[in-house]
Structure 1
């Protein structure tokens, strides 16, 4: 790394940050009045679910802690087994083992994951059987949920776990990703605000590293409505005493960096005692590579990068967080995705 180039980039980043942001964590914008954060959605009960209100929880009891709200994948299965069963990429999913080749030498690696999970719940003033879930299982609908993320149709033959032998560990054991009845999607999100400049500086700091941090997140996913055989057990997840009439699921199975998988799930049930209304319970799970969260010491050496600690950025507690999408941090991203979904259902 050339010292003068590094210093110029650091100075540019420092000048681009407002004074209050250089001093500490950015104050996050207040949550929408429509979103009511609660410790537990199930504990509130349906009687506390008011029209136009979205109950939201992501299990963060102390947001000041950098990794608060993240649970190790193995612990997830012990603490919330029904949740992991529904939100893992597929039944029996385990943390991946794979070969990594550096300087011509291959070594077997085990990847440890930590999972962020958000849950939302709201009421739609229509009967459950009147909601056409197939109309939401489209590329166009996904694009409306977060216009900053760009999506395009992906040919199933070009799915990375299928096409790239090095990514074979990400294959499903039961069927191919993007099988018949699903919508196959390729997506790209360019980091916003000060994050791209922070990434450039972080890459300069680690000049010579075999893999640089990208200034974008690209991912592949499949979108589908769930068949009855898969929706029936979800009543045990929502803990609502009513049959599940449908489910919508988007599974992210390949990401270029930081994350290993993700899933958005929406479960539809008639309101107990009032079948003219539908209770919708939404979930978002995002699995982060644990080694990403361990990158602390190298950033801490550079004052302007102290707020670029991965755990702080991912959980929305950094001066580098900005916007309303992924760059804002996972909690803001999840909350806004669920709110957008509720708004779309309310309009149709």
Structure 2
């Protein structure tokens, strides 16, 4: 009986030991499966996210290639627009994408129709240039609802999900008007060439009005301007003003709120031999720089942001959206003041080398990210 009891006890202990070992083995196997998983544990992911590696950036880059981008423009006129479009095109190409430029002949209803068509055609991303909130808000909402990201330049849009790129338009107006006041000794009569209905123009007008209020000895003699045939219209109407005020000294300066206006006015003033009149403009292109450098030209200075750089920054924020990043609602680009006095007299300067003479001009890294740099490298390597 004792032997039978001892045997039963031994057997029970043996079975318990076997079950215990089996349980330990299962526990170890489960731990092994957890440590080999690709996802981090909840505690690790909640504490501090891992920094993206080079391979992560490379994967992001591959996913962003081949995007179809639409650039919808209100108008595509002048050398500033040409250099802006060139900046957009080159940046899209560097990201391995395809750009379609869609001008709208300075007609907001046509621009709105073009926007609707781009949504219907399912472009991967949409860029807008010099639009208007009243005309485009509904179309932009359609694009966002369809999952198509939108980044606008100088369009005054406030739709949720849109990033609006803008030059510091009030600052540009202030820079040129302050120079005008300084050069004229704070007194004189001026002509304003400006056009309503464009968000950047409206912002520049705010600074202009404040300038007149702060400088009572500077009087506005005339104001005009149109976006249709801007340069020729500015030239024709400046010629008429010069005939209306033929006496030298009757017009101190012309303030042109767009470089197309400045070019037209400069032609008229130069042909009339009114070398006492100085012109101060806004925006800058290679053609504009040549006129400012010309000692016989009345156009002496301009405030601007590099137009190609604007296009590059706009594309970067669009690709951030395509990547799924949350981008800021507004991005403002600071301008620089470029005067003839700052430029060499023995060589021609272009926007490509202007940074050698004017601090703050040139390519901007705004909107760039590690994965966008990796994308450029990946596209460039092929």
- Normalising by structure 2, we get a TM-score of 0.24
Give 1 or 2: higher helix fraction: 2
Give 1 or 2: higher strand fraction: 1
Larger Rg: 2
